[in-house]
Structure 1
Amino acid sequence: MNTRPKIIVLDDDPTGSQTVHSCLLLMQWDVETLRIGLADTAPIFFVLTNTRSLSPEKAASVTREVCQNLKAAIALEKIQDFLVVSRSDSTLRGHYPIETDVIAEELGGFDAHFLVPAFFEGGRTTRESVHYLKVNGVDTPVHQTEFARDSVFGYSTSYMPDYVEEKTGGKIRADHVERLRLADLRSGVQDRLVHLRNNQCCVVDAETQADLDRFATDILATASQGKRFLFRSAASLLTSLAHLGAQPIAPEAMAQYVRGGKPGAVIIGSHVKKTTEQLSKLLEAPGTVGVEIEVSRLLDLSSDPHDALLADATQRACQIHESGKTPIIFTSRQELTFSDVQTRLAFGEAVSTLLMDSLRQLPTDIGFLISKGGITSNDTLSQGLALRTAKLLGQVLAGVSMVKTPADHPQFPDLPVVLFPGNVGDEMALATVYQRLSTST
């Protein structure tokens, strides 16, 4: 196959680009912005829909809007060959099957959709159709982890056919799910791919990048014969589909992107246990000072504490920056409970608004910005920095992306921004990224 198809990724939070580089992230999805992505020389681009933070109804609406605009943009750009990936969380949290159903309705005619949750940089593998997360060095079925107890996206099984049946409410039965196991992938699956039809649901094993490389080779060969496939995957599959090679600047050398050797700023919204552990280690690093925001005060409906919390965080962050150190702005860590999903989502929006207002009040000469948490990172790009597009530079640590704002950004031109997922890395990972970018060490 001489030309590779354009890979269009609808990313439900902005961390799905964590295994590729030198491509565009789109924060908007009007037809003209999508045409920018389609016309870019890179084989892959990302549309950051942020649907994981939305209600099911809103997630479906946003996905439908993206797909309808994509149809128009594809026609205008005369794109013949493309693959669509619904990129989601490797710990199985997200709006499945809502998003893949909408994509199939709007872009239609798919012969199969593949669930490929493996994400090697984050310790996620799948074998015998069971999805595992490495916890303290031990492969643990993902339904036994904190992620399965998510109040919005919880689930009861790590066996992917049963997960499909559970999430589709029995619409797709477990025994109707096609299983591509390790032995199948390693011996080649083209003969099975050519016989798939009617948007057949398939679950895909993977223990190494080589497994997905082989799978991607078979997928691309079969697609070149006219078969149409849709993917619901974590980031590692994108590495194999895009086939980009090594990034231009090594992760350890990315301090050269830091503006003027200045101290940076860190914004942390993620509440998962791993983030809290990483935050603790970061605050021990030289040159960091914590700015805790008591977000529980936002639950006080008798007053509007937003402005007071913002003024306090802004004052402290600016003082820390003026002293030559890096402010670490983070939400208070206590676990809050909510009466229903809608209340939780509304609270999350209030917290995000506060964090983004804090970002916009940062000194304009910060050297770099680290955003911790998937939803926080999406809001950082689309709201805090109000970007239309951003150029992905690569990874500063395995699974942790860095982008750069445009040179004409009105507040933070050419600012390197790290998009750090909530559940990636060991306890030292956040401190490691800070140290790689900080000139104080």
Structure 2
Amino acid sequence: MSDPKNIVLDDDPTGSQTVHSCLLLMQWDVETLKEGLADDAPILFILTNTRALTPQQADAVTREVCRNLKQAIAQSPVEDFLVVSRSDSTLRGHYPIETDAIAEELGPFDAHFLTPAFFEGGRFTRDSIHYLLVDGEPVPVHETEFARDSVFGYSTSYLPDYVEEKTKGRIPASTVERFVVADVRQGVEERLLHLQDNQCGVVDAENQADLDRFAADIRAAASQGKRFLFRSAASLLTALANLPTQPVSAEAMGEYIRNHKPGAVLVGSHVKKTTEQLSYLLKESGVAAVEVNVSHLLQDSPMERDALLKSLLDQVHTAHQKGETPVIYTSREEITFPDVTTRLEFGVAVSRLLMDIVRGLPDDIGFLISKGGITSNDVLSDGLALRTARLLGQILPGVSMVRTPTDHPQFPDLPVVLFPGNVGGADAVAEAYRRLSRDVDSSGITV
């Protein structure tokens, strides 16, 4: 029996950050899904962007994808598949809304597993506690800024308690099946075969070999008829896909840039790490800072918004004509909101402005770097209006590059870097910029 197809519903476009040479789908009509299922790659990503949506919208989108998937699978040669609800490695996202919806639409499943480890980003799970490396030291994620997220906040890093908290007691911590490191390394196939009724399990992993072993046991159990669902960060996907080394190394990805031209950088994420990375990037030679003041965006009239957009695009084109790479970033001050709905409305307004900027970029830019998960999703699906994109691989650990189709009406064959907000050291965005700019001098002339 062949290995199952790995179908990933990705709540932002950065979940493919550990694999390569597969399709990302920005649409999920039945025909597009059939195209993805027919692709030779063992893994397929459907970019739902649900982390940017309300709980009700996330539920509706997830169900729509699953219903269309059911039709597409029935019309495709795919016989066996695993479903992954890919989410953030710092435990943010619509859990259990999305896994509940998937289970109801594509189930029944024997179990669903939380596997939040993402080693390239310094996240691992030990004794069912999820950690994030901060300056080389492991910190339980509930002690980080991510746990204080105004939409997806939580109070514990102990995953059984996290499950109980997020399910409002529907799944008590005492009933969660724990797969600790010693179990995983010894092998858990026999335990997997006894799971039923969508049992919730949480999985330790301290390195990629742990998830490789777990994935092998999952495949073995699946081959015997067991059906599993995953709420996972990216590192499990590496194990499930089991791909060879990417065709072009991270250091050599500058060969993808178009005509040795300077590019553009778009920064939407507001996490502390992004702000630090932005400050390093702005010190690089050949960049031009273009700040987008978004503080009054919800109050601005349409005329004021249009004037702001024109001013920003004028700065972008002026920089490009000088052979510089414009770094377009939203203002960094903290903005408070009276409620979650207003915060989400603000996010939509910011995204619309940024996507108007993307559409107004010079047609001959050499590359585009998009910083932030939701920003990157909007760049692909709205700013570039892509239906599908081919993932080239990673330019840095956890940082993917895709390329637009050759027949794109505005930006054909444009390499686009999808840079998660919470990934990389202080110099990481600057390093990605340098790798893509080595063949361009300060005047934009090939060297």
TM-score (norm 1): 0.99
Q: What secondary structure, in the 3-state scheme, does the structure 2 residue paired with 1:248 have?
A: coil
In the alignment, is the contact (CA less than 8 A) between 1:289 and 1:326 conserved in 2? Answer: yes
Q: What secondary structure, in the 3-state scheme, does the structure 2 residue paired with 1:86 have?
A: strand
Alignment of 1:35 with 2:42, yes or no, is no
**Alpha-carbon shift at residue 303 of structure 1 (Å):** 6.3
Distance 1:219 1:5 in 2: 10
Distance 1:308 1:359 in 2: 16
Partner amino acid, structure 2, of 1:133 = L
Alignment of 1:219 with 2:218, yes or no, is yes
**Alpha-carbon shift at residue 79 of structure 1 (Å):** 1.8
Partner amino acid, structure 1, of 2:76 = E
Q: What secondary structure, in the 3-state scheme, does the structure 1 residue paired with 2:406 have?
A: coil
**Alpha-carbon shift at residue 391 of structure 1 (Å):** 0.2
In the alignment, is the contact (CA less than 8 A) between 2:38 and 2:77 conserved in 1? Answer: no
Distance 1:302 1:270 in 2: 24
Partner amino acid, structure 1, of 2:169 = G
1:32-431 matches, within 5 Å, as 32-300=31-299, 305-431=304-430
Partner amino acid, structure 1, of 2:138 = D
Distance 1:233 1:380 in 2: 23
In the alignment, is the contact (CA less than 8 A) between 1:282 and 1:428 conserved in 2? Answer: yes
Distance 1:303 1:354 in 2: 11
Deviations 1:334-390 (A, max 9, x none): 000000000000000000000000010000000000000000000000000000000
Distance 2:229 2:218 in 1: 11
Q: What secondary structure, in the 3-state scheme, does the structure 2 residue paired with 1:156 have?
A: coil
Distance 2:302 2:214 in 1: 56
Q: What secondary structure, in the 3-state scheme, does the structure 2 residue paired with 1:259 have?
A: coil
Distance 2:335 2:381 in 1: 26
TM-aligned CA distance change 1:302 to 1:324, over 3 Å: closer
Q: What secondary structure, in the 3-state scheme, does the structure 2 residue paired with 1:298 have?
A: coil
Distance 1:334 1:393 in 2: 35
Distance 1:14 1:305 in 2: 31
Distance 2:435 2:72 in 1: 39
In the alignment, is the contact (CA less than 8 A) between 1:27 and 1:47 conserved in 2? Answer: yes
Which segment drifts farther, 302-311 or 130-139? 302-311
Deviations 1:272-301 (A, max 9, x none): 000000000000011011100100120325
Distance 1:213 1:397 in 2: 21
Q: What secondary structure, in the 3-state scheme, does the structure 1 residue paired with 2:6 have?
A: strand
In the alignment, is the contact (CA less than 8 A) between 2:261 and 2:440 conserved in 1? Answer: no
Cα RMSD, aligned residues only: 0.8
Distance 1:306 1:80 in 2: 51
**Alpha-carbon shift at residue 153 of structure 1 (Å):** 0.1
Q: What secondary structure, in the 3-state scheme, does the structure 2 residue paired with 1:396 have?
A: strand
**Alpha-carbon shift at residue 304 of structure 1 (Å):** 5.0
In the alignment, is the contact (CA less than 8 A) between 2:298 and 2:349 conserved in 1? Answer: no
Distance 2:301 2:192 in 1: 59
Distance 2:18 2:252 in 1: 17
Which segment drifts farther, 301-310 or 55-64? 301-310
In the alignment, is the contact (CA less than 8 A) between 1:287 and 1:440 conserved in 2? Answer: no
TM-aligned CA distance change 1:161 to 1:304, over 3 Å: farther
In the alignment, is the contact (CA less than 8 A) between 1:286 and 1:440 conserved in 2? Answer: no
Q: What secondary structure, in the 3-state scheme, does the structure 2 residue paired with 1:261 have?
A: coil
Match of 2:444 in 1: none
Residue identity (%): 71
Unpaired segments ≥5 residues, structure 2: 442-447
Q: What secondary structure, in the 3-state scheme, does the structure 2 residue paired with 1:38 have?
A: helix
**Alpha-carbon shift at residue 104 of structure 1 (Å):** 0.1
Distance 2:417 2:301 in 1: 37
Distance 2:92 2:385 in 1: 27
Distance 2:105 2:433 in 1: 42
Q: What secondary structure, in the 3-state scheme, does the structure 1 residue paired with 2:295 have?
A: helix
Deviations 1:38-63 (A, max 9, x none): 00000001000000000000000000
TM-score (norm 2): 0.98
